[in-house]
Structure 1
């Protein structure tokens, strides 16, 4: 990993006191300005977003500002230029600037370490030093978001905006700035040029999604993190069954953490009259790995599909091209997540999982809602979900491990004879909370999030459920953990 690190000043997590003060102030000022004053509202969003990001580390505000100015200018230039060679040059300037920043801050030390290790392997010493680089929070997210703008303008799928304040608001929109969803310019940017009206029902829906997201983060993710960290950090002290349980805890930690963040981001956006793309669709109810990737981190998966997989030829070529392109997007996806070989292997492993479905042309079989119209899945569906979850959990070991050696050792200890021993750690309360969480998600799986269609309950029952969630959050608050995807 070299010396790459994340240094945060004062944290403004969605579940922090600072944010609970910040949000009502911005919300009140935003609607006091009035829906007809679009430019003033956009300016407030830019100001609030820069305050929000600067709260983490003000030094990196210049990166967002510079990236915004570059892509705004290139968008206008692309609109005026018809010559193909000039347009391609402009596009590559945008790609080079954005990926150049991302590559330097996120991958410089990784590539230096890898290059030095390669020379050492062949008996030579390469005297190149790593740098003490601070990784800007959320750089992978807003970099891909701005790239979607210039690529879509280049492909003439989107007219460039002349409103620089609206464009800066699009790039820095604080609810999804540091951990997504990665919004497309075609979806979010036009929303900054139209009148946003306060709709009570949308606001209620947004608050409901925020509540569910906070429950996922505070109760599920943070509590699972405690045991996942304990077991992963001391994996040689535990038997195989306990290590498998630790991997399960991490699976629910990362899902509760990241999908919880996305729910909060989408809910907050609704409070301001914006609609963000859905980012998770109950991935642990998937019946195969292809379905899982259509349900997990949807904004990133579709970004790679549209801007990498399809330009590479997609599925139009022969079988070899399909396999090549599949491995490319999964490995690049792994590298996007972090500068460590563990992420690359995690991506490659998912590509191998995907391969049998690709070879048998069954990668688009499960696209419907599982057990639609039924309370319970069939035996076949249940076994498919369990196998997919198990394979995903095994892959998560590489995602969580500190190194490839750590991951391999962890898996070796899982699949030893001690896999059939009694659990050495078995926090029944946390497991009951996870079951409650899964049941709620299962019953609400037809909605965009678990509580979206809770209106069918009588009002007293609805409010009783909301109060229950709040009580659970206060009663079972886990030790505060940084959102996992802030490091990406």
Structure 2
């Protein structure tokens, strides 16, 4: 609304349509609900298609028409992509799907249904909630619980640390290299890509922590959205830990309806591949995102294929070699390298730039590694080390409690250190969460 006030009608329209369609579906026998579900899908996906994908299709259609030497051109639309459109659209669609399946009663209170779609902590970038988790909470009487307020504030503080101390600081190096990649060596591009992997994780999981923490201070529980994804030992496991609300959304509403793993093996691999191609396209109307989804689709399918093969190879004999290659010190770095390679296509502006960067990474090792020194190195690397130490502790359940300590002095001291660190090392200019654009 700040940029284009009339855009509030997008939210208002989808809220009104899905509110009445939800009631209509509930009052219709299950075998006859499909038409109402399709109207809901058409309304939500239609808005998404116009605002997010129309110009992408127009551009590619014009390239095709030009290649066929046709004078006709598809017109472009001068429109602004509403912030968080994909997130609240998918949240609204999950409501319709769950009513259609009979897992959720239609919400009769219009204000509460509108709040479900527009709940401000997670409106613009998730987590993408399910009606079963959040709707009933809006009906419950809330009383102030000091522990919940404290836990929520601590989560917000940790999220802010990840965002402004890590993500926004390493982004300075990432932007400097990626925006001028022609003049950087392969080593610089590798470092920038690793930093981008850290940046996008801290940026998005930082937002999720702030959103979940904000809701918790008001006594609402939102679903967990990240679970230390860079400790994953395979691509499939990575996606069970990264952007959990989206990956489970695709699992429940696309992967399972396609047949999931209850089909032939080739079809199963195809289902996995389709989900990741759609996931890539969900992230943005650009071929770079589609290639990013393609890479994850390929490696996820390979992950499942290798798991199938391993059942036969290891049957009866668990060799020392297989034990060795399955060790976390092997699997975690390999998985991180694959994910980071895919991030190159996510970060690059064009397909041409993506492949140029990949080519330089494998061929060009002339020039300096660092373009920034001093405070950048001290603050960035120390903060990343703190992040790694915390996630290592949580991953392997090491019993060291700081913010969650039972001793007030330890809690206050830890929180104070984080606040001081944020004020000293935080980057507060030109900051924006990456996933707001989706």
Q: From 472, 480, 483, give the equivalent of 2:421.
A: 472
1:311 and 2:257 aligned: yes
Is 1:72 aligned to residue 19 of structure 2? yes
Q: Are 1:482 and 2:432 matched, yes or no?
A: yes
Q: Corresponding residue for 2:105?
A: 159
1:97 aligns with 2:43: yes
286-295 or 354-363, larger mean C-alpha shift: 354-363
The C-alpha deviation readout for 1:9-47, integer Å capped at 9, x for no partner, is xxxxxxxxxxxxxxxxxxxxxxxxxxxxxxxxxxxxxxx
Q: Is the 8 A contact 1:212 1:451 kept in 2?
A: no
Within 5 Å, which residues of 2 pair with 1:101-140? 101-140=47-86
Determine if the alignment matches structure 1 residue 439 to structure 2 residue 380. Answer: no
Residues in 1 aligned to 2:406 and 2:361: alpha-carbon distance in whole angstroms: 43
Match of 1:16 in 2: none
Residue 56 of structure 1 and its aligned partner are, at CA, apart by 6.0
Q: 1:426 to 1:289 in 2, by over 3 A?
A: farther
- Provide the secondary structure at the position in 1 that maps to 2:395: coil
Instruction: Work out whether residues 334 and 346 of structure 1, in 8 Å CA contact, stay in contact via their aligned partners in 2.
Output: yes
Contact 2:154/2:403 (CA < 8 Å) preserved in 1? no
Q: What does residue 212 of structure 1 align with?
A: 158
> Could you tell me which of 257, 268, 283 is aligned with 2:229?
283
TM-score by length of 2: 0.91
Q: Deviation at 1:436?
A: 1.9
Q: Distance in 2 between matches of 1:195 and 1:385?
A: 44
User: Which residue among 65, 85, 90 is the counterpart of 1:144?
Assistant: 90
2:230 & 2:30 partners in 1: Cα distance? 48
Q: What is the rounded CA distance, in whole Å, between the counterparts of 1:120 and 1:364 in structure 2?
A: 49
Is the Cα–Cα contact under 8 Å of residues 402 and 411 in structure 2 kept in the other structure? no
Task: Kindly indicate whether the alpha-carbon contact (under 8 Å) linking 2:273 and 2:301 is maintained by their aligned counterparts in 1.
Answer: no
Q: Flag the 1:257–1:480 CA change in 2: closer, same or farther, 3 A.
A: same
Q: CA RMSD in A?
A: 2.3
1:268 aligns with: 214
**Residue 402 (1) aligns with residue 349 (2):** yes
1:327 maps to what in 2?
273
Q: Check whether the contact 1:357–1:363 (CA below 8 A) recurs between aligned residues.
A: no
Relative to structure 1, the CA distance from residue 481 to residue 274 in structure 2 (aligned partners, 3 Å threshold; closer, same or farther) is same
Distance 1:160 1:452 in 2: 42
CA 112–215 in structure 1, closer or farther in 2 if over 3 Å, else same:
same
C-alpha separation in 1, matches of 2:160 and 2:228: 17
Once the 2 structures are TM-superposed, how far is the Cα of residue 138 of structure 1 from its aligned partner?
Answer: 0.5
C-alpha distance 453-57 of structure 1, shift in aligned 2 (>3 A): farther
Is 2:335 aligned against 1:388? yes
Which of these residues, 168, 175, 183, is aligned with residue 121 of structure 2? 175
Shift of 1:83: 6.6
TM-score by length of 1: 0.82
Q: Is 2:149 the counterpart of 1:203?
A: yes
Equivalences, count: 420
Contact 1:216 1:260 in 2 (8 A): yes
Distance 1:467-1:188 versus aligned 2 partners, 3 A rule:
same
List runs of 5+ in structure 1 lacking aligned partners: 1-53, 366-377
Three-state SS of the structure 2 residue aligned to 1:418 is coil
Match of 1:460 in 2: 409
Note the C-alpha offset of 1:200. 1.2
| Structure 2 Cα separation of the partners of residues 83 and 275 of structure 1 | 31
